[in-house]
Chains A and B, each alone.
Chain A
Amino acid sequence: MTKSELIERIADRQEQLSYKDVELSVKLILEHMSKMLASGERIEVRGFGSFSLHYRAPRVGRNPKTGEAVSLEGKFVPHFKPGKEMRERVNDF
């Protein structure tokens, strides 16, 4: 399912909102989640899961083409932990 399919599916279930409203809403939700994560904020959605940042320590990497060593700085990466209901529903097959 892509973002546009998600928008269509939500619009199909919505009586009161136009396709355009749903499209703007989905984009705003994703933008707000990205912005909050990028400012170091956690996201917690009960039954769905939580998003947080994990730290990756500095390390020496290699340029895969030349084999040359490159020092890489520490960084944060987004992490998702599925919630209980998500884990159960996905595993129930």
Chain B
Amino acid sequence: MSKKIKSISNPKLHLEILSPYDVRKLHDATLNIIENVGIRFPSKKALQIWESNGAVIDHEKMIVKVNPQIIESAIKNAPPTYNLCARDSQQDLPLDGNHVYAGTDGCGVEVIDIHTGERRTSKLQDVADVARVADATEEVAFHWVALSAQDKPVETRGLYEMKAIWENSTKHLQTESIYNEREAKVAIEMAALIAGGKEALRKRPVLSLMQCTAPPLGHDGGSLDASLLAAEAGIPTGFMTMSSALTTGPATMAGVLAVGNAEVISATALLQLAFPGAPVFYAAAQTASDLRNGAYTGGGPEDFLFGAATNVLSDFYDIPLSMGSFATGAKEPNWQAGIENSLSTFMASISMSDMLLGLGFLHGSRIWSYAQMMMDAEIFSIIHKTLQGITVDDETLALETIAKVGPGGNFLSQKHTLKHMRDLFLPEFMDRRPYNEWEEKKDDARDWALVKARNILANHEPDPLDPKLSKELDKMIAAEEKY
């Protein structure tokens, strides 16, 4: 199976969604929020760092107010580019602003069983299975923990999930399900084992960490402590805002961007104050809550606009972005899923968001579907092709060939055609058959996508993790469990 990773680079299409003036206004609003409203940092360590750097602290409420200069100079220490490394170094991902990579989404609680089609509670084997399928899928560049290993104890669940992914794939792992200091400590030791020691891990981070903010304008204590440990170890760390218009953010989109930006930038500044130069990234999945039931929608035009706008912000701060796209709110792979996942991913890709999360989910990142995963991969491929745009030069204008064929002929048997036909996009899951052929079978993309995933799961053998390392990982998890 191919070790290739498909990423979007050198796009020919462009979009101006925010003017430099807009970005400046958003930045000023963000600094204003951090300085005057404050951000909640419920972590002793975090509060100490803020205090020693001159922030104003309300210890009882654990709210920090910070002078704009402190934030601005701290953020400047963040490296603009670095690599997310993989067990297989051919699969390293340079976060250099000229690549868009897609990952699997996470962290869901149910899975549509690949064999029976039944929806059921997720377990550790599902984490391993998704990782194996993702390993063979070139549109997947890195992993999130797709599903929660709910058959494992809560104290070590995140560690089991990491091990399962490393055992089934050579690609980079970004976990979003390690959010306390105790588990983070072991996770970092496990990553060091995979990388070949602590210094090797710093040079080649095979693990990155994603933490959610606690909106509006707050953070989770466990997440902060875990991120500080990761930053100290040189593990790329990002904070994700899921600020949502109406509920955790204002009803206006600019307001949502400002609130979310204040959450992300304040935590990013904290990491830079503690460990200047630590690799960090911006993460976001803003949305609009549904007007009727307040639900996090994970789709709709607001999402598409946030998807394109956020990379303009992260570019302003000169740090990579991990952007929520895909992740439809649809209950099954259908019209809504197609629209939401295509448009959100197109908009996030055209502004060159570095990482996209992610493939495979239904019902707002709750229910994993292998069929949806494969169709999401095709959506990514379609956008990959679209963003290449149209090349106009002597070769592509094909004047000689046009002259040869002349009026009334066709281009099927031309050498120029043979040379370039593979530039055309060949879909795997679009129905271009004659009508009667469809009428006989009445099957569609969902059926074909599922068959593809089943084949991969049955046949793909990922490069195995050294059994000695596996055993060591087991020991580390067992030691933590006893503790």
Partners in one complex: no
Residues in A lying within 8 Å of B, measured CB to CB: none
